[in-house]
Amino acid sequence: MIPTDVAIVRTGTANLASVLAALGRLGAMPRVVEDAETVRTARRVVLPGVGHFGAAMHQLQAGGLADALRERLAAGAPLLAICLGLQLLAQGSDESPGTPGLGAIAGVATHLPDTVRVPQLGWNLVVPDQQGGIVQEGHAYYANSYALRETPEGWAAARTVHGTPFLAAIARGPQLACQFHPELSGRWGAALLERWWAAC
């Protein structure tokens, strides 16, 4: 059996049309999946997310996808996590107290300050801690109420500020997790996706 080119994990909460379109522009043949074996064997995996942390984790646990994603992350296999997808990699979120995340990275997603508009909807900066990596400085489109603050060990980070500093993205080899939506971030986002694709 030929491995799936790129598998998009169905979390039950994501609008997948824009992700499918962005990957298609790269020449990919993406397929939306909900079986653990495909997540384990696909050449590349995308973990999207728009919605509620607890609902998404329930979907991943029910389908056996959570363990498959943990294995993939531990093995360093190519993976792209988007928006809620980044938060799902963590130990948990204040959005769903008591619901564990995938636990692939340390930290808990916390609510953005009430002193700014929440959710953050619109364009904001992405500033990498170090230059020359897969994530370069630019503006990206965000849609989030929760965020992670601390850089997990072994990952390169980029940051932004909306009321408080938080992680805009983290990268480790062919694994990239973005709080923003690269598929909605114009030419800058398309270029980021191309660099991730090449890194895989």
Catalytic residue annotation: 83, 181, 183
* DSSP-H helix ranges across the chain: 17-25, 36-41, 53-62, 65-75, 84-88, 186-199
Q: For 27, left (φ over 0), alpha (ψ -120 to 50), or beta?
A: left
Q: Nearest CA to 6 among 71, 77, 64, 106?
A: 77
- Is the separation of the CB atoms in 91 and 121 below 8 Å? no
Running DSSP on this structure, what letter comes out for residue 115?
Answer: T
Using DSSP's 3-state secondary structure scheme, residue 92 falls into strand
- Is the separation of the CB atoms in 53 and 89 below 8 Å? no
Match 């999946």 to its residue by tokens.
33
- CA pair distance 54, 69, nearest whole angstrom: 16
